[in-house]
């Protein structure tokens, strides 16, 4: 999987699950302030990320997520520790 594909998956989840406008989503978008998600939405996000990565997201790492790019970075790290290569 490439970085671009991971980003596409994440934005796809955000659009489908939270009915966001794709035009509003950028890597630097802050989930709570810019995209208006809340902590209950975060549960749905973790369920979706679990489905993408097949791994249980570490709650400590999850707590540090602020932006869309943070999610992408987290998913890349999950793939890396699962031994799945992430390309360019």
Partner 1 sequence: MDAPVAYPALREILPHRPPMILIDELLHCGPADVVCGVTVRDGAPFVEGGRISALISLEYFAQTVAALYGYNNRHSDEFKVGMLLGTRDLELRATHFRVGDAFTVTGQEVWSGGQMAQFRCELLRGGAEVVARAAISVLHGSPPGSPTEVRA
Catalytic residue flag (residue 58)? no
The residues near 72 (Cβ < 8 Å, ≥ 6 apart) are: 3, 6, 7, 10, 27
Q: Which residues bind partner 1 (CB under 8 A)?
A: 17, 40, 43-44, 46-47, 50, 56-57, 59, 62
Complex with partner 1: residue 5 or 44, whichever CB lies closer: 44
The CB-of-40 to partner 1 minimum distance in angstroms stands at 5
Q: Judge contact between 62 and 83, C-beta under 8 A.
A: no
How many Cα atoms sit within 13 Å of 32 on the Cβ side?
A: 8
Task: Give residue 21's Cα distance to chain centre.
Answer: 16
Judged by CB, which is closer to partner 1: 56, or 64? Answer: 56
Least separation in angstroms between CB 77 and partner 1: 16
Task: Write out the catalytic residue numbers.
Answer: 38
């Amino acid at each position: 999987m490439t970085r671009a594909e991971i980003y596409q998956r994440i934005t796809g989840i955000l659009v489908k699950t939270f009915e966001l406008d794709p035009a509003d989503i950028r890597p630097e978008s802050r989930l709570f302030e810019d995209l208006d998600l809340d902590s209950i939405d975060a549960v749905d996000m973790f369920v979706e990320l679990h489905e993408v990565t097949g791994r249980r997201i570490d709650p400590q790492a999850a707590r540090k997520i602020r932006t869309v790019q943070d999610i992408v970075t987290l998913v890349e790290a999950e793939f890396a520790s699962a031994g799945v290569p992430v390309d360019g």
